[in-house]
Every structure is written in structure tokens, then in C-alpha cells.
Copies of this chain bind each other. A is one copy, B any other.
Amino acid sequence: MKRRGVLLIVSGPSGAGKGTLVRAYVDSREDVYLSVSATTRSPRAGEVDGTSYHFTSYEQFMDMVNEGQLLEWAEYCGNCYGTPKAAIEQMLAEGKDVILEIDVQGAMKIRSKMPEGVFIFVLPPSMEVLKQRLIGRESESNTSVIARLKRAQTEFLLIDKYNYVLVNDTIEQAISDLDGILRAEKCRIERNKNIIQEVCGDVISFN
């Protein structure tokens, strides 16, 4: 009997390195699928529709919102970004593990709709490192480093809504930890009731 896939939500403040981590992890694992966001933003050079993002018009996006097709959505710098529900649901039903990279507010919205999800907070090794990463980053937005650091501090307050914390010191360590979390979650009793039933036969009845 097939086990339902695991949904990993990788989240954390801007500059914690969640994007780099998730891309490196998905590249290293053939059997983990990335959730692709929908956006009204125009594609940049090299971005592929359906892989980088699902690029939509504003009208299409709002139709998705109104039809309840998005797990969460938000506007950012004049563009809308959202997480399509159906693709994730289908992959999970097929037993595929899905990873979703999202900011803290988005993660909180998803948590209310998908409590089965595994919520991982990516933490920089120190505030000083976070600051240096934000300074070193060529950011498209006008948001200042100070504003981002302040926002990070309010986001830290939500860390105990998460299941795991991943201190992103070296990428190798962070990938190993992320992989460990996925392996472990696949072994959790509550995710294996079918398999347990299959092995143990009629002996077990879960209530």
C-alpha cells in the first residue's frame, strides 16, 4: 500500500539561505518535487514557465484566488505570488514528497490549511551573518537591510509554530539535516499506519 507523500515547508527570514538550500537539495534528490508558485510578475531572462513559476495574468491569478485554487497568496512589490493547491495535493496522493520554499507569513497561512505539513525554520548561524548576507546580496527590492533585519526579528517570534529548526551554517550540513528530516518524517508512526497494518495483519486496530 502506498504511503502518502510528505510536504516539507522550508521557511525563514530573508537572507537565511532557504532558497539556495532548497534548490541544492532538490537538485540532489530525484524523488523530491518542488512546488512551483504562481505569479503575476513578468518572467526574467532564463526563467521557464511551469518550472521557475507559473506565470499568469492578474485576471487569471484572481480567478485562482476566487476559485480557492491557492493555498496562500500575497502581494509583494506590486506583484502577486501564490501557492497552487491541486498540484501539491496530487503529488502527495501519489506518494511523492514535495518541498515548498516560502516566507514566514506564507508558511503560517499554509499551516492553517495543511497541518500535516512539516514546518522547517531556516535560521542563520548568527544575526551578524544574516546582516552580512543581506548586505552582500544584490537585492531587487528597495527594502533596506535594517528593515529586513527588523522583520527577521518579528519572524523569529513564530519559530515555535514550526517543527524543526535548521541552522544554516554550511550548506552541506543543512542539506544533510533536511534529508534527515524527510527520512525521519517518512518513518513516523502516524504516516505508516497502512504499512504497519499490512505487516501486523488484523492484530492492530488504530483508533
Please indicate the chain B residues that have their CB under 8 angstroms from the CB of A123 in the complex.
Answer: 196, 199-200
A127 at interface, CB cutoff 8 A: yes
Restricting to A149-183, which residues have a CB under 8 Å from any CB of B? Answer: 153, 156-157, 159-160, 162-167, 176-177, 179-183
- A184 CB to nearest chain B CB (Å): 3
CA distance A158 to B180 in the complex (A): 25
Please indicate the chain B residues that have their CB under 8 angstroms from the CB of A160 in the complex.
Answer: 189, 206
A200 touches which of B153, B181, B187, B192 (Cβ 8 Å)? B153
A164 touches which of B180, B188, B200 (Cβ 8 Å)? B188
CA distance A127 to B197 in the complex (A): 11
- Known A-B contacts A184-B183, A184-B184; the reply to A203 vs B156 at CB < 8 A is yes
Cβ contact within 8 Å between A159 and B196: yes
Task: Please give me the residue from chain B that is nearest to A191 by CB atom.
Answer: B165
- Known A-B contacts A156-B204, A180-B179, A204-B156; the reply to A187 vs B164 at CB < 8 A is yes
CA distance A162 to B192 in the complex (A): 12
A124 at interface, CB cutoff 8 A: yes
- A182 CB to nearest chain B CB (Å): 7
Cβ contact within 8 Å between A159 and B204: yes
A204 touches which of B157, B164, B186 (Cβ 8 Å)? B157
A95 at interface, CB cutoff 8 A: no
CA distance A196 to B124 in the complex (A): 10
Please indicate the chain B residues that have their CB under 8 angstroms from the CB of A163 in the complex.
Answer: 188-189
- A152 CB to nearest chain B CB (Å): 9
What are 19 contact pairs spanning A and B, CB under 8 A?
A120-B187, A123-B199, A124-B199, A127-B199, A156-B200, A156-B203, A157-B203, A157-B204, A160-B206, A162-B189, A165-B187, A165-B195, A167-B192, A177-B184, A177-B186, A180-B180, A180-B182, A183-B183, A184-B184
A61 at interface, CB cutoff 8 A: no
Cβ contact within 8 Å between B153 and A196: no
